[in-house]
Each structure stands twice: as C-alpha cells, then as structure tokens.
Structure 1
Amino acid sequence: MSDSNTTNFKNSSTFILLGIPGLEAAHLWISIPFCIIYAIAVLGNFTILFIVKREPSLHGPMYYFLCMLAITDLVMSTSTLPKMLSIFWFNSREISFSACLTQMYFVLSFSGMESGILVAMAFDRYVAICNPLRYTTILTKSAVAKIGLAVVLRSGILALPYPFLAMRWPYCRTNIIPHFYCGHIAVVKLACGDIRISSYYGLFDLFSQIGMDVFFISMSYTLILRAIFHLPTKDARLKTFGTCISHVCAILALYVPDFFSSLIQRFGHNVPLHFLLLITSLYYLVPPVLHPIIYGVRTKQIRDRLLQIFTHKWT
C-alpha cells in the first residue's frame, strides 16, 4: 500500500467511535438506563468511601480493601461511561489518538487492579477464618498498604505494553472504531501491520493476571471451606461462611460478565455486533453498581451507619 493511502495516527489524528452500531436510532433510549446505573455506581461508591472514612470502627483491613475496590470501580466506570453518554447525547464521536490510548490504558490497568483487590480480600477472609488470633498481626496497616501498592504496580506495569504496542502500528484501513470505547482489540484491528504480538501479549496478560487471580482466590476458598467444615456446629459454620458472602457476590459480579463477554467475543461469530457490545458494557456497568450495594446490604456496620445518617437527616 502506498504511503499516500496510509494514515499515520501517531500524529494529531483522531478515531471515530460509533457507539453501538445498528442501534443508532435507540442511542437516546439506551442512554437512560446507562446514565441511571452510572449515577448509582458513583453515588454508591462515594457513599462507601464516606462511611468508612467517617466511622472509626470501620478502619480495618477489610474496609481498606473495600475502599480500594470502590476507587477502582469509580475509575473503571468513569473511563468509559461519560464518553459513551457523550456519543449517545451529543453525537460526540471523535477521540484523539492519545486520548484513545489513555482510555485503553486506564480500562486495562484498573480492570486488573479490580481483580487483584478481590484476591487481597480473599486473603483477608482466609486470615480472618483460618488464623483469627493472628489477624491483627498479619494484616497490619503497613501490610495492607504494601498489598495495595503491589496490586497497583502489577496492573499498571502489565497494562503499559498495550498502548505502546498500539502506538507502533501503521493505521491505514480506517479510523472508525465500531465500539463505544477504545478497546485494545478494537483499536489494533485497524492496523495494517502484523499485530500477532499484541494478541499474544493479551493472552499472556490474561493468564498472568486473571488466571493467577482466579487460582489464588480458589485456593483461599478451598482452605476457608476446609476450616469451616471443621467447625463443631452447623450454626457456627453458617455464621462463619456468612462473613464471606459479600466477597463471593463481588467475585461473581466481576467475573461472570467478563466470562460471558469473553466467551461471546471468541465463539459468537454469528452474534450481532450490537448484542455483543451490550454484553460487553455489562462488564463496565455491573461491578461498579453492584459492589457498593452488596457490601451496603450485607455488612452490618455499613448498613447501620447508613441508616443512622438517613434517620439523623430526616429527624
């Protein structure tokens, strides 16, 4: 292909995001539930952060990890939803190449952080149930900070090659992305060069982050269940496992939409594109809105503090 037909997006070029192709006429109607869900996610996660900050009894490892999860959820949803809504409401489809790569990096790094934080929370439940007498000596503030830093560094570093690899390819086909955000595969598919290294790195990252996280969570819960089954009474077993329910629900809220989205992308070749994108959007909508609801309903200290705030406000 001649140089004259090659568009060099490494300069001040732009991509065009189509939103949800095939459903352009329904964009305004689709935006209503998306906007409501995003507002609930922002309100819910800020509420979690506010309550934990204001309530001294919640200044413990589990709630510190919960705050990390809330911040990650806020960044994850804010990385994609505002741009999606601007496409739906104002037909603002353009995004610069640098902004596109920045969005790609934030989505990939913070999705990895979210998974890593769930591993940290699984470790918290393991220590609380299997080594309760050593809980405060193992999960000190310093240890929690180191775990949080390790999660951030791991995800931040592993996500770095994605935009750098995308930056090196020549883009000569089109600058139109049939998506509502700059996903890694959606962007590099527009490149003219051999993008196999991007695909291989994506698989490596998937197994090294999500694969290892699922393994460690599974190992933690294997040990937790073994400890629970050794408890003397059924009531004790149920009460102990009840402390893990919120975390189990948070895991399902993150991994189930991701699993179905990945499954459909890889094997659903005959699935309409608009249906695929709606399924993909669940990964960015469901966890941020469900996590604060799960912990708000299931955690007595948070629930009581929230009720106290509302009853004080209305009295």
Structure 2
Amino acid sequence: MHAALMLDSLDGLSVGEALGQQFPVMGRSIPDILAGNLPAGQWDWTDDTEMACTLVAELGRHDGIDQDRLAARFAAQWEPRRDYGFATVGTLRQIRDGVHWRVAAAAAFGGQGSCGNGAAMRVAPLGAYYAGDPEKVVAEAVRSAQVTHLHTEGVAGAVAVALAAGQPAHARVTGTPLAPREFITAVIDRLGDGEMSQRVRRARALLGAPTHEAVQVLGNGSRVTAQDTVPFTLWVASTHLDDYPAAIATCLAADGDIDTTSAIVGGIVAAHTGRGSRPGRIGVPEAWVATREPLPSWVSTVRAQRRQKSGLGFGRIREWFVSDYPVF
C-alpha cells in the first residue's frame, strides 16, 4: 500500500477539479494558465474533491473500504455548497436520514441505480494506494462505488479509473516505462463486458487522434454519465501521462464536464508524475497547488507529518490518520 502515491494522486485530482471549476469564469486562456498567468484569488474545490478526501481518509485509517462506514461518512461530510449532483444529493440525504445506503443507492433513477460519473471522479487515489495489486484495486473500487452508484456502468467507470491510476503509480515505483496502448489495454483486460469496456476500446483505437475527434467519438462528460466521461479521460491520461499541465489543458480545451474530467485525469497523471518537475516528467505545478483551496486538515496534517518522518513506515502514517480524522 502506498500512502505517498495516494496523496500525490489526491493533489492531482483536487487541483485539476478546482482549476476546471474556475476555468469558465476566470478570464484566462489556456496558454495564459500554462505560462503561470493565474488570476488572483483561490480555486475552490467541490464535490469531487470532498468525496475523494473522505475516501482517502477511509483508506488511511482502515486500510480498506467498509461500505457502511464510508456511506455514513459521505453523508456526514456532504456540504450543499460543494455543488453535488442532484442524484447524489438525494442519495446522501436519504442516508443521512437513516435509510441504508444500498436502498438509497438502488432507488436512484427509477430503481436502476446511478451510472453517473461521481464514483469515477473520486477514486483515482484508491488506485494509487493499491498500486501493484490490480485485483485489490478492482475489489476496493467496486466497494467504494456501490455506496452511491449501483448501476453496473457507474461501477465499471470507477473500476476503470482506479485501474488507470494504479498502473502509472506502480510504474513510478518500479521505474518501468508505460506506453499509451499498454496503459489502456491493461484496463480493458480487467473490465467486464458492457458499454464501458466497448467505449474504452474505442479510446484505445483513437490514440494519436486530435482532441476534437476523441471528444466527438467518446464524449467529454457533458452527459454526466460514466460512459460519456471515463473513456475520454483514459484517452487524455494515456496521451499525456508524463505531463500534468498538458493533460489538464486538454480537458479544459475539450469543454463538457471540465471539473470532473480534470479531476479524473489529474488523479491518474499525478500518481505518475507527483508534484513539481523532474527529468522526463512535469508534475502538478506548485503554483497551482498553492492557488487551490487547502484540503481538509486531516489530509494536510498527514502530508506534513509524512514528509517530516519520511523514514517511518506506513503504520505510523496510519496512526496519524487515526488521530487526525474525525471518529464517528
């Protein structure tokens, strides 16, 4: 298990989401942003980041997903100002009112369960956490998704993103090169049959195509479904796996559900690049991290302590989560 990679992925997710949320109104072009010409003020994050932080805290404290506990924490942490989708609001409100999460999640969309992109948008840090153990990635991604998304395609989207984040994180640890086609194929190999698998195969076939063509075929999240969001994000991540700013810029240029596509892509790519730049990799710019709204205290505290005590093992990092993350 890799707490440091998980936290890097969370940085990439939260910065991407916050920038994507602000971009339509910030009055800056993509070249301006890439050149560091940022507007004054803070980039606030929304539901993508809040739920990802809760998921990270669950993993940090318990080493795995307990669905009852995670559902209760999602409901307790829900803040309407964070711009949650209407279906998620309905599910979390029911859970907060005492309805079991499985009943609440199953009731969405006339009893079909949600196939929205919400389970996928928050899960990249989980994939980084279990890097090198794809079977565990799949099992825990399914568990993390089901508490709000019981439609098979909503779950498949989460599995695809978690697998996509786990691969580059593992490649970073081992120093193994990861080619774009290999990256997507490894995800396809662990997806079951269904629309998600079919559309990810299309993403693989579009490697090397211009962005507008990828959007035309795969979507850009504007329908807010996992099927319309995840395949495009895998195409972007595989295309820009070593360059976080370029990956986020591609999401901005594609329009659609920009904050969600940027969150997913950011979480995947940052698991590979980390923060800052090094030979061959351009990670999350420190100026962007500084502009993003600070993450909740239990995340920032653990990061600071991990850096100060970098010689200690994961067990001590887990202790810090236990002490800093609110008990319920």
Structure 1 length as normaliser, TM-score? 0.30
Greater Cα radius of gyration, structure 1 or 2: 1
> Which of the pair has the greater relative contact order for Cα pairs under 8 Å at 6+ separation?
1
